[in-house]
Every structure is written in C-alpha cells, then in structure tokens.
Amino acid sequence: MKTHRVNELIELLHPEWQKEPDLNLVEFLLKLAEEAKYEGKLEALTDDVLIYHLKMRNSDKEEMIPGIAKDCEDDFKTAILRARGIIK
C-alpha cells in the first residue's frame, strides 16, 4: 500500500471510529466490512473497499460514487461521442 493510501484511509477512518469508541480496531473493521456487504476473510479485505465505504458511509443511498460521478453522462449519445473523441 502506498503512503498516500495509508494517509487517506487513516483520515477517513479516524472520525468514524471516534463515533464508536467502545469498539477496538478489529471490531470496527469487521463492522465496516459487514456494512459494505463484504463476505470474504478479513485479511483479504482491501483498502479500496474500506476507502470507498468510508467515503460513502454517511451519504444518501442514491448518491453516486465520487469516482464514477465525474465520468457520468446524462445521455447515451453524448457518452458515445465523448468516448470516441468526437467531442471533448
């Protein structure tokens, strides 16, 4: 894991973990994994799952994931033309 990923994860994790100070770190990570509907072993949980879940944890259920929202087009024709490089 790169240093910037560690910093990003800690910045996102810290305020959320403070809301539940009775949980130790592993318990809190298990809770996050359950919330994210992760079904694998805890040791296989990736930083991406944690980062995206923490970013979206307190958002509206209908809100789009930030990384996807920037590339979203309202209509199909514009999306195709942009993908083919015809429009910018």
Mapped to the 3 state alphabet, what secondary structure does 2-66 carry? CHHHHHHHHHHHHHHHHCCCCCCHHHHHHHHHHHCCCCCCHHHCCHHHHHHHHHHCCCCCCCCCH
Q: Which domains does the chain have, with CATH numbers?
A: 3-83 (1.10.1580)
User: At what angle are helices 3-18 and 47-56 packed, to 10 degrees?
Assistant: 50
pLDDT at residue 38, rounded to an integer: 93
Cβ(57)–Cβ(16) under 8 Å?
yes
pLDDT at residue 52, rounded to an integer: 87
pLDDT at residue 78, rounded to an integer: 83
Tokens coding 57: 């944890």
Digitized pLDDT (tens) for each residue of the chain, 88 residues in all: 578 888 999 999 999 999 999 999 999 999 999 999 999 999 999 998 999 899 888 887 777 776 776 677 778 888 888 888 888 7
pLDDT at residue 87, rounded to an integer: 85
